[in-house]
A = this chain, B = another copy of it.
Amino acid sequence: MPASLATYVADNQNRFLAELEEFLRIPSISTSPDHVADVRRAAEFVAAQLTAAGLENVEIIETERHPLVYADWLHAPGKPTVLCYGHYDVQPPDPLELWHTAPFEPTIRDGNLYARGSADDKGQMYMHIKAIEALHALHDGKLPLNVKFLIEGEEEVGGASISKYVPANQEKLKADVALVSDTALYAEGIPTLCIGLRGLIYMEVECTGPARDLHSGLYGGAAPNAVFGLVEMLSRAKTPDGVIQVPGIYDDVANPDPAELESWKGLPFSEADFLAKEVGSTQLTGEAAYSVLERTWSRPTMEVHGIAGGFTGAGAKTVIPAKATAKVSFRLVPNQNPEKVIEGFREFLKANTPAGCTVSLKVLSGGPAIVVNPQHPAIACAAEVFGEELGRPTVFTRSGGSIPIVGEFATYLGIPTVLMGFGLPDDGLHSPNEKYCLANYYTGIRTIARFFERYGA
């Protein structure tokens, strides 16, 4: 069967490419009011392709914003059910002038397909549909297991609709495992399964000093300054070495087990390249007792994403600002409870509010870290076929980022997620000249189809 799967993909790869190009030509920019119709057109394209691949109960689900697309095939009794997730919306292409070719006119150069959404996530999501098509064709209209598809059009704008839909449709979405391909290989040629994601709490801190902006000549020395008050508070939340000072924040941190830490040491990683090619600062920072991979994958962090207050125009204005705000987040690692961390941060702010100031905290979102057991049968199957396809053992990594839908599948459906993506670290997601490696597109279709076969065997 692998042989004929490979043959099927090889025989049809020109059509697979042409279809993906058609998909990429739709500028389904979910954040733009000018592209609402394009976003819907992309949803309709997905629905039509799901039908063509042999899926059933294909449905365009209306939401308050952009539609969800659902489909299933449930005729393999006794076999596991996989819930395939992806998104058909894309980021805006700005800044347009930095693209070498038009963002919505897919172009092939050096084996890569350049277009907005090629990797994130149209190209990766479309592999799932083509894997089903291949299996459907090769197995006379049957699939080796049960599948459900849930594809959203708001991933780039916060995913509000799917976040409402999942908890409200737990029975309909019931599955044994979810499959998400919106991730990347650790490096070219290395089969990679991501088994851990950090959680995220995102907040706004507002500091108020005087009732209105005051003249710094007349009041400087006696009136509190909201910007300086915010600066004082934030500076105390983390040491220069990156150790967070929020009470209790490290109490529940679950460290990776020694075997996982050991495996990370085997991953190709150059701190010098990371500094020079990716970060571009004078040196790296953070907790000295931990490696860079540990600091970014398995340690909680605190960041200030933005700060604003007072006069920031050209020239000079001598005000003592009345208000200042900052966007602050914590990345969480397994076993940390977001509510408890938020509570700790509230305590911290209360204990550190500067004299004369008042502080308020607004929590925009909060989700825990995710960690998946690599012994889970679906993960184990995925690791096997991935390693076989790429000819070397699969590595298990984590990501310092957060994929909220994975947390929602865990919370509301009680299922783990196989994070098996075929992107590359330099694909330029959200950037000009986003690309997807065509070889990985075809490899991905084969690997995903083989995963369905192996997991359904």
What residues of chain A have their CB less than 8 Å away from a CB belonging to chain B? 158, 198, 200, 202, 208-212, 214-225, 227-228, 231-232, 234-236, 238, 240, 242, 274, 278-287, 290, 292, 295-296, 299, 301, 303-312, 315-321, 324-327, 329, 331, 354-358, 364-365, 399-402
With A and B bound together, what is the CA distance between A229 and B227 in angstroms? 15
CB–CB A228/B217 < 8 A: no
With A and B bound together, what is the CA distance between A378 and B387 in angstroms? 93
CB contact between A327 and one of B198, B281, B311 (< 8 Å): that residue: B311
CB–CB B364/A223 < 8 A: no
CB–CB A296/B235 < 8 A: no
**In the complex, what residues of B have CB within 8 A of residue A223's CB?**
279, 281, 284-285
CB–CB B287/A221 < 8 A: yes
CB contact between A364 and one of B198, B238, B316 (< 8 Å): that residue: B316
CB–CB A279/B210 < 8 A: yes
Q: 22 A-B residue contacts at CB 8 Å? A: A202-B318, A211-B280, A214-B278, A216-B303, A216-B305, A217-B331, A217-B402, A218-B400, A220-B400, A221-B292, A221-B295, A221-B301, A223-B285, A227-B307, A228-B234, A231-B304, A231-B307, A235-B236, A282-B355, A282-B356, A305-B320, A306-B321
With A and B bound together, what is the CA distance between A305 and B358 in angstroms? 18
**In the complex, what residues of B have CB within 8 A of residue A286's CB?**
221-222
**In the complex, what residues of B have CB within 8 A of residue A356's CB?**
281-285
Contact of A305 with B310 at beta-carbon distance under 8 Å, contacts A210-B280, A231-B231, A280-B210 already known: yes
**In the complex, what residues of B have CB within 8 A of residue A399's CB?**
217-218
**In the complex, what residues of B have CB within 8 A of residue A210's CB?**
279-281
CB–CB B240/A217 < 8 A: no
CB–CB A318/B211 < 8 A: no
Give the nearest-CB partner of A202 in chain B: B316
With A and B bound together, what is the CA distance between A139 and B299 in angstroms? 86
CB contact between A303 and one of B211, B308, B320, B325 (< 8 Å): that residue: B320
CB contact between A296 and one of B219, B309, B326, B331 (< 8 Å): that residue: B219
CB contact between A218 and one of B224, B238, B401 (< 8 Å): that residue: B401
Residue from A234, A285, A290, A320 with most neighbouring chain B CB atoms (10 Å)? A285
Q: List the 9 shortest-distance A-B pairs measured between CB atoms, nearest first.
A: A211-B280, A217-B401, A306-B310, A235-B235, A221-B295, A306-B311, A308-B312, A220-B301, A306-B312
